[in-house]
Amino acid sequence: MMRRALSLAFLAAVSGSALAGEARAAPVLLISIDGLRPADVIEAEKRGLQVATLRRFIEEGAYATGVVGVLPSVTYPSHTTLITGAAPSQHGIVNNTTYDPLQINQGGWFWYAEDNKARTLWDAAHDAGLTTANVHWPVSVAAKNVTWNLPQIWRTGHEDDRKLVNALATPGLIEELEGEAGVPYADGKSEDVDADYLRSRIAEGLIIRHKPGFITVYFAGLDHIEHESGPGSPQAKHALERIDGFVNDLIVSEQQAHPDAIIALVSDHGFAPVDTVINLYRPFIDAGLVTLGADGKIASADATPWGSGGSFAIRLARPDDAALKAKVKAVLDKLAADPAAKFDRVIDAPEIARRGGNPDASFYVNLKIGAVAGPFVNGSLPLAFPSPVKGMHGYFPTAPEMRSTFMIMGPGIPSGRNLGEIDMRAIAPTLAKLMGGTLPDADEPAITFGK
């Protein structure tokens, strides 16, 4: 993604009070509400939302009117940027799901921290002398420098997933915290608000019992409902209001453990309503770029449309094959001229690199808002068909609908400070500096908040 400077409003907000070279060893609680749109907090009353805890950040702390995210604007690349300050091209988490053209990984995601090539906030906190903890943050399996880790992973939704999470968590931690909280830890694939409640209770117990100096907590329930019923739906509003209560309980626990704590709240992307699925496998099969076997499964692929919500990365089996690249471009050009394909734009590898996107993609297709990238299901599906989901993200981060959230409060953070629009890559180095640490891989400079 193209490097963006922080908005003039953000710079003006902090330059007058920033102290050059200042470093604090402040404890930090970092909460992510997946899919939280900034206006749902900033304009809560206008939108009929009762979110008193989230509104505290607006009144008592500093907040961005919008966060410009990364390419693609989906959960795993965004959350890795939120904790590293680096673009996907640097940290390597370029999509939610791993590249799997022959569909043999059973829909596997980028669960494993070893796939992240950039330094994290857990590393920065550890090096600053703080203990660290994690509850369900994406790309956290076997993450280094996490003292108490409850990583995010699932496979099938079968009850064996609980055993998998337990095996990969800090030994004995789940059993200890379940006994403390009196509730079971949520199943790995559970993404509803009830699962958020269970994780919040476990996170509260972890904070009170172990007092980590830096902890990440991730809530998936709002995103789950927005996909299902659409952004701004009554169901989504109800989900956010419940999560607001969980955030309050976490803040109470954190301030009990650390009265001097900084509380930061983020989201990974915005949301848009959708009604149409675009199945690029159909034209790729018709063009001979994807070949099916007798069983209807993919047998080989010269080029693969790798869906990422509202966009597709196009990855070639032979990226240096000029004839193959020209053939793929011809297919994409034809689709771009077809209104039924709902293409917004197609960018090539040099432009993808400028935007910090997938370095292995030869092309990237952005769909028009309202359309969603379809996965491979079978070879008989048409190019376009009605969407089973009502909300989606993953469009190029230039879309206003994709703006995400950043809010922060605590000692030294100015009250009621509007930061304007900021770059997502500025968040991690800011938190690292508050903890007295550094993130040299970050694309944006750290911002120091004064009085």
Q: List, for residues 390-437, the tens digit of each pLDDT value.
A: 999 999 999 999 999 999 999 989 999 999 999 999 999 999 999 999
Scored b (16 or more CB within 10 A) or e, 25-41 reads ebbbbbbbbbbbbbbbb
Range of the domain at 218: 8-272+400-434
User: Which strand (E) or helix (H) includes residue 301?
Assistant: strand 298-301
* Same domain, yes or no: 315 and 169: no
Q: Is residue 441 in a domain?
A: no
What is the pLDDT, as a whole number, of residue 274?
A: 98
Residues β-bridged to residue 133: 148, 215
- Tell me, what's the pLDDT at 380? 75
Rounded-to-integer distance, Cα 245 and Cα 400, Å? 28
287 and 264 within one domain: no
Band of residue 441 on the pLDDT scale cut at 50, 70, 90: confident
Residue 3 lies in a domain: no
> Domain containing 298 — which CATH number?
3.30.1360
- Mean pLDDT within 325-342: 98
21 within some domain = yes
For the segment 342-350, the average pLDDT, to the nearest whole number, is 98
Residue 3: predicted pLDDT: 34
- The DSSP code for 185 is P
Q: CA-to-CA distance for 245 and 41, rounded, in angstroms?
A: 14
Judgement on whether residues 332 and 281 belong to the same structural domain of the protein: yes
Total tally of structural domains belonging to the chain: 2
Residue 110 host element (H or E): none
Please tell me whether residues 232 and 211 are part of one structural domain.
yes
Residue 83, helix vs strand vs coil: helix
- pLDDT band at residue 5 using 50, 70 and 90 as cut-offs: very low
- Model pLDDT, residue 377: 84
pTM above 0.75, yes or no: yes
Query: Rounded to whole angstroms, what are the CA distances from 393 to 35, 167, 225, 399, 424?
Result: 8, 32, 13, 10, 16
Residue with tokens 């997938």: 358
pLDDT confidence tier of residue 9, bands split at 50, 70 and 90: very low
Give the Cα separation of 164 and 4 in Å (integer): 40
**190-219 tens-digit pLDDT:** 999 999 999 999 999 999 999 999 999 999
SS3 category, 300: strand
Q: Which residues pair with 135 in a beta bridge?
A: 150, 217
* CATH classification at residue 417: 3.40.720.10
Q: Let me know whether 167 and 217 are in one domain.
A: yes
Note the pLDDT tens digit of each residue in 33-53: 999 999 999 999 999 999 999
Are 267 and 317 found together in one domain?
Answer: no
**Tokens standing for 329?**
């471009």
Specify the amino acid at residue 326. A
- Token pair for 293: 């076997």
Burial status of residue 201 (CB atoms within 10 A of its CB: 0-12, 13-18, 19 or more): buried
Please indicate, yes or no, whether residues 173 and 140 belong to a single structural domain of this protein. yes
Ramachandran bin of 372, using left for φ above 0, alpha for ψ from -120 to 50, beta for the remaining angles: beta
pLDDT at 281 over 90: yes
221 occurs within a structural domain = yes
- Asked if 343 contacts 334 with a C-beta cutoff of 8 angstroms, the reply is no
| 171 belongs to a structural domain | yes
Condensed to tens digits (0 to 9), the pLDDT of residues 65-94 reads 999 999 999 999 999 999 999 999 999 999
Is 2 inside a domain boundary? no
Arithmetic mean of pLDDT, 375-402: 93
Per-residue pLDDT reduced to its tens digit, 301-323: 999 999 999 999 999 999 999 99
8 A C-beta contact, residue 125 and residue 214: yes
Which of 334, 362, 388 corresponds to the end of one domain?
A: 388
Asked if the model's pLDDT at residue 10 lies above 50, the reply is no
pLDDT band at 449 (very low <50, low <70, confident <90, very high): low
> Does residue 440 sit within a domain?
no
pLDDT beyond 60 at 13 = no
Tell whether the model's pLDDT for residue 15 goes beyond 50: no
In this predicted structure, the answer to whether residue 114 has a pLDDT above a threshold of 60 is yes
Which pLDDT belongs to residue 190? 93
Residues 156 and 304 in one domain: no
Instruction: Let me know if residue 443 belongs to a domain.
Output: no
How far apart are the C-alpha atoms of 402 and 146, rounded to whole Å?
Answer: 30
Percentage of the residues of the chain whose pLDDT score is greater than 70 = 94
326 with 268, same domain: the answer is: no
**Mean pLDDT along residues 98-121:** 96
At 75 the three-state DSSP class reads helix
Are 370 and 382 within 8 A, CB to CB?
Answer: no
Q: Are residues 119 and 248 in the same domain?
A: yes
| Residue 232 shares a structural domain with residue 354 | no
CA atoms within 13 A on the CB side of 210: 23
What pLDDT is attached to residue 378? Answer: 73
Separation between Cα atoms, residue 51 and residue 37, nearest integer Å: 13
- Containing 291, the helix (H) or strand (E) segment is strand 290-292
151 and 189 in a single domain? The answer is yes
